[in-house]
Amino acid sequence: MRAELEVLLGNLNALKREGVTDIFVSEEALSALRERVAAVASAVPPARTPVAELPPKTVPQQKLRVNEPVARIPAPDARSSASAFPSFSSENFYSTKKTPPLASPKAPPPAKKEPTFDFSVSEARAASVPANGSNADRLAALREQMLGDPICNEHLHAGKQLVFGEGNPEAGIFFCGEAPGAEEETEGRPFVGPAGQLLTKMIAATGLSREQVYIGNIMKWRPELPTLYGNRPPTPDEMRYCLPYLSKQVEIIRPRVIVALGLTAVNGLLGFDPDRRIGAMRGKSLEFKGVPVVATYHPSYLLRNDSMKSKRAAWEDFLRMMEIAGLPITERQRNFFLPKK
C-alpha cells in the first residue's frame, strides 16, 4: 500500500516539476485513493504516519491541488478515446486521450532492489556492431546485442520486453523519447500507448507516417518500480547505461534532425542537469553527435496540457524540425493552432 502511495506521490511530484498545479481526479479514483490512505493510516502508529502530505479525507471532490502554478488534467470522463487522425487536421491533432491510471490493480509489490550497472557491458556491446552493411542490418545487429545485454535483461519486469526502437533505418527524423511505459514493455515497441497515439498524429500532421521516421527512447527498459503500475523517470545512471545503444542508433541512421521529446530525452542526450527546464531548451541550437536536436514537450505533457498555447508551442518546434529536415511546409501547416482570423 505504502509503495503504491509513494508511486502516486512520485508521479504528483513529477507533474509539479513540470509546472502542473491542478489535477482533476474522478470520484472513482478518489475513493480508491481514500481506501489506500485509510489502509496505510491504520497499519502504522499515528505519530509516524507520513501520509499527512496526501489529500485528507475532506479534500474537495474532483480537484486536488499540487501546489504551484499551471495546467490542468481534464476529468477522465471528459477524455475521448483514440480516433483515426485525418492527416493535416490540426483540429484533431490532440484528440487522442485516455484516462491515466490512478487506481491500481491489487497485486503485492515486488521487493525493491537497488539498480546495479556495469557500464562496460553496454559500451563494449554497442561498439561491436559491424562497421559495414546496410543500416537495417547494422540496426538489427545492435538490437540483438541489446536483447542479449544481461544488465538490460536484469532490469526487465517479468514477462515484459526490452524496447529497442523502430522505424525507417534511413530516416531523416529521429524521435527520441524517455523510456517505455506499460504498453511499450508489453509490445516491445516504442510509443504505442496514449502518448504514442498522439505522437503518431503529430508525425502525420507533418505529412509523414510513423514508418518514414525512426522512433526510439533514451532507456531501453521500463524503469522499475516497487509496484506493477505507474511510471518514473529514469535515473541519470540508467540513462548513462542505455546511452551507448541510442548513440549507436543515431550513428547508424545519421538522421538530419533528432526531436528530443521532453526534458528526460534532452537530459539523456546532453547529459543530466537538474536545473534544466524543457521550456528553456525549446528553440535552442542543440546537437548530439553532430546531429541538430530540437527540444520539445513530451506528448504525455501535451495530453495533460491541451491548451492552444501548448499545442502551438509544440507545433512550432515541429515546424523548426521540418525546416531542418528539409520537409516542405504548406501555408496551412504553418498556421496550425493559430487563432482563426
Is 191 one of the binding residues for ligand URA (CB under 6 A)?
Answer: yes
Contact in structure between 243 and 119 (CB atoms under 8 Å) = no
Amino acid symbol at 254: R
Contact in structure between 63 and 19 (CB atoms under 8 Å) = no
| Single residue of 167, 177, 234, 268 touching ligand URA by CB under 6 A | 177
Number of shown-chain residues binding ligand URA (CB under 6 A): 12
Query: What gap in Å lies between CA 310 and CA 95, rounded to an integer?
Result: 14
Nearest distance in Å: CB 115, ligand URA: 18
Q: Which stretch binds ligand URA (CB under 6 A): 24-32, 171-179, 302-310, 313-321?
A: 171-179
Contact in structure between 111 and 208 (CB atoms under 8 Å) = no
Nearest distance in Å: CB 233, ligand URA: 9
73 or 179: CB nearest ligand URA: 179
x/- mask, ligand URA, residues 212-251, rule CB under 6 A, reads -----x----------------------------------
Is 165 one of the binding residues for ligand URA (CB under 6 A)?
Answer: no
| Single residue of 4, 149, 166, 184 touching ligand URA by CB under 6 A | 184
Nearest distance in Å: CB 295, ligand URA: 14
Contact in structure between 114 and 221 (CB atoms under 8 Å) = no
Residue at grid coordinates 527524423: 173
> What is the widest separation between alpha-carbon atoms in the chain?
65
Amino acid symbol at 283: G
94 or 191: CB nearest ligand URA: 191
Q: Which stretch binds ligand URA (CB under 6 A): 6-14, 25-33, 142-150, 177-185?
A: 177-185
Contact in structure between 184 and 222 (CB atoms under 8 Å) = yes
Residue 12: count other Cβ atoms within 10 Å of its Cβ.
18
Query: What gap in Å lies between CA 68 and CA 247, rounded to an integer?
Result: 37
User: Which parts of this chain interact with ligand URA (CB under 6 A)?
Assistant: 177-181, 184, 190-191, 193, 195-196, 217
